[in-house]
Amino acid sequence: MLTSCFARDFLIDGTLIAPSDPSEWKCKDDTCSQWITFHNISNLFITGSGTINGQGTQWWACKNCGTKATGFTISNSDNVYISDLTFMDSPQKHIGLESSTWVRATNLTITAPENSPNTDGIHVQQSQNVFIDQTLIGTGDDCISIGDGSAYLNISGITCGPGHGISVGSLGFNGANNTVEHVFVSDVVFRGTSNGARIKTWQTSAVEVSNVRYIDIHGASSGETAIKFACSETVPCTDISMDNIDLTSDGTSNTTSSCQNVQGTQHEVFPSVPCLTSN
């Protein structure tokens, strides 16, 4: 962990390699929640041509090894710039942005096998004014996941796959009142992902999904259901808008959509969503 009130450049060249065997981490009381952490720093520039290799293979296969570590974390910091690095095979999430503001992550490469569990590329939590762009992410979980307390995120120029797509959530666990707002996603290519863009909440009344816009989405779905809304009966999804959507099948069957408890409008959407009003 590096802690400082003022910092400038942190250059990573070569390869940083984590211990491969979980027992080598010598954790006590599940303290291995993070491997490399920058905490409470302002004006930090992390760049270089290096690779951060978490060597997570044995962690993924182990059921009783304790808490798996996030490979690289920025926490309680502001004005942070991360660029040009490669992250691979983290035991758990590759990059965590936690309780930080004004962070830009650009021109990164993040990879792990498709079957590696919980290896999100970038996870954002309790952070605001975050910019993620021009980055290649292919892992076993979400390319980018967005958790509670996150606001004013701009995600663009991402190539995602394999993985689970770009996800907001999960929100509302055990009835927690969670908030995510002002998230903008554009110019993203999904290849071989189980989902594209999705919002995940627990079936509680603690989270209301509203004011969501899906615009200019085109592609082919490997599954028959290309668009799915499954919202809460207690708190339906409201003010949902879809415009210029075309999701065909990558096979021989036609694509369909499904919806429950959602209110909103659609314009030039294929496959048409029966719960939405044509506009």
Catalytic residues, by residue number, are 141, 164
Classify residue 192 by burial, with Cβ atoms within 10 Å: 0-12, 13-18, 19+: exposed
- Spatial separation of the C-alpha atoms in residues 265 and 256, rounded to whole Å: 17
The two structure tokens encoding residue 207: 């989270």
How many Å apart are CA 216 and CA 214, to the nearest integer? 7
Q: Which two tokens stand for residue 169?
A: 């959530």
Strands across the sheet with 166-171, in order? 2-3, 34-39, 70-75, 95-98, 122-125, 144-146, 166-171, 197-201
Paired residues of 221 in beta bridges:
249
Tell me the C-alpha distance between 121 and 262, whole Å: 30
Q: How, if at all, do strands 2-3 and 262-270 pair?
A: unpaired
